[in-house]
Amino acid sequence: MIIKNLCVLLVCSIFLICSSSGQDITLVEDGRAKSRIVIPKESTVTEQKAAAVMQDYIRRISGTRLKIVKDRKKEKGNEILVGKVNRPVLAGVDLDALGQDGFVIRTDGKQLLIAGGREKGTLYGVYAYLENYLGCRKFSSGVSYIPSMKTITAGSINDKEVPWFKFRETHYRDVYDPEFMDWHKLDSHGKNIENPQWGFWCHSFNTLVPPEQYGETHPEYYSLLDGERKPGSQLCLTNSDVFDVTYENLKAEIEKNPDPVYWSVSQNDNADYCRCPECQKLNEAAGGPIGSILPFINKLAGEFPDKTISTLSYWYSTTPPKNMVPEKNVNIMLCNIGSPRHIPIEVGDSVFCEELRGWSKLTDNILIWDYVIQFANLVSPFPNLRTLQPNIQYLHENQVTALFEQGNREVGGEFCELRAYLLAKLMWDPYIDVDSVMDDFLTGYYGQAGGYIREYIDILHDEMEHSGAPLQIFGKPADAMETFLSDSLITVYRGIFDNAEQAVSGQPELLERVKTARLPVYYAILEIARDEEAGDRKAFRAGDDGTLKPRPEIVEMLHTFVSHCNKIGVTRVTEWHTTPDEYLEKYNLFLEGNLKP
């Protein structure tokens, strides 16, 4: 669906970009084509796709379809050059400096050139031109803004962009829409997308040495714990047969799926690492359990020199080792699961920062697995938006080359579209003006209600910061019931959302988005009412007959909350379990269980 309105500032900026300066290249004039799109004679699939995207959006903006031709055609003015075209203007571009995904957008007075790195750089350049110079937006998979202009010109441009991180993924369901990913220059480890970069992704020990296959016949392949081998725990990495089995099974998987570069050989999601004497000896020498992991991974990486073998540094294995370094084609996937989220990591997690600095001295091949939502309560207010930029800047400054920002694996969640949008922008360039980007999103996504949503976000974050209350990824609303979710502040939030709904009351699409943004406030009220045993916020009140009865407001809010969750397709309200209908059922059981004297 196309947004009908953006802020006056955006409209003015589009006018200034497209107004004539005497040196402009005219692409479309009064609805008539004045340009053509040129691609290389031997063009790549990416270059062809980039040209088609440019053609399609020029048509949507102006109603005019530009021709796509090969560069064997004689050069002429007003051309849009896409990719490694045979034109003199390309001679001044160092394509190698663009890496995989970087690009240049450049004009020379008669031609507009968009060319990029060896992977998707040219395509990313086209989308950047549409956004930065023509005013288009892609707020989510289904919400875009495309301006209408009968005349399109390109003024003086000399733009070069190279991403600060070579791998950028934010884990929200909606972002895996193919165009959203290309527009926002995102990567993915997933198997269900075009050209995934990863074969295995984390927690792969049991995949490579399946306990159901080897557990009974070879229990010695698995961790020794309290004097007993435990199949399905972790692997005994000093057992040479474990290496042989892992190598053969990994080799077979790579032969079946040769394209991915990254293959994760990583510990399972538990702390049951092997305590056998051989493993313990390596661990003690290295200063932690990574001591038995890294030699195993280094040896495996030597067998696959054209691949990158990734391994988790997670839970018990985050401490960098002494007296050993990762091979060049070993990727360290370091996780900061314990970091607080109410303040930047650099301020709030000295242990993680020390670990990161230690790893950075050993390798520059580090992927950070970061966590940006409240997993225990996916629809709860979680004021961490102000920490996203300083965290990503800090990671870049400490030699991190790849980021995985774990959001919501389910559909929905608090400000899922906004958080995904901001993360995508920050992973490409951590030093953007994030407040301006947020305001642009809020205006485009919520229309006239955008200012009210910003007011709510600011108060929520201000009050959290003022209180000093901690913010953890496995917290709950009741943790903040005396701080940023106090009764008086909840009243303020409800008033703001009343105003926001009124501002777009005649625009059903925008009104639905505002009601979605309001769900976390309802959820906080419901959860606090369930946790509160006494006081005005509890779920019950005394009836005339002395029995406890559910407060009508809570019952009505419960049904409003669940109904809207189902309407917009929310799949879970907490990670891994509890659909909206299950939430309704459990809450009703709670209400019924308290109907007693």
- Which of 452, 455, 463, 518 lies closest to 489 in space, CA to CA? 463
Q: Residue 192's pLDDT is what?
A: 62
Q: Residue 536's pLDDT is what?
A: 84
Contact 326, 270 (CB under 8 A): no
Q: Helices in 133-167 by DSSP H: which ranges?
A: none
Supply 358's token pair: 């230690």
Q: Residue 546's pLDDT is what?
A: 78
What is the residue whose two structure tokens read 């938006």? 385
User: Do 69 and 133 have their domain in common?
Assistant: yes
Alpha-carbon gap, residue 493 to 483, rounded angstroms: 13
Sign of the Cα torsion 514, 515, 516, 521 reads positive
CATH number at residue 231: 3.20.20.80
User: Do 455 and 581 have their domain in common?
Assistant: yes
User: Do 230 and 157 have their domain in common?
Assistant: no
Residue 175 lies in a domain: no
User: Do 127 and 202 have their domain in common?
Assistant: no
| Regions of the chain short of the pLDDT cut 70 | 1-22, 191-195, 594-597
Residue 576: left (phi > 0), alpha (psi -120 to 50), or beta? left
Tell me the per-residue pLDDT of 78-111, one tens digit each, with 9 for 90 and over: 999 999 999 999 998 999 999 999 999 999 989 9
- The strand pair at 158-161 and 402-406 is best described as unpaired
Range of the domain at 453: 448-593
Q: Residue 191's pLDDT is what?
A: 66
Q: Residue 485's pLDDT is what?
A: 97
Q: Residue 12's pLDDT is what?
A: 40
Residue 340 lies in a domain: no
Residues 6+ away with beta carbon under 8 Å from 129: 54, 105, 112, 114
- The strand pair at 167-171 and 402-406 is best described as parallel
Name the domain count of the chain: 3
Q: Which amino acid does the sequence have at 535?
A: G
Residue 410 lies in a domain: no
User: Do 12 and 157 have their domain in common?
Assistant: yes
Q: Which of 161, 184, 211 is the last residue of a domain?
A: 161
Q: What angle do CA 354, 357, 360 make, to 5 degrees?
A: 150
Residue 364 lies in a domain: no
Q: Which amino acid does the sequence have at 486?
A: S
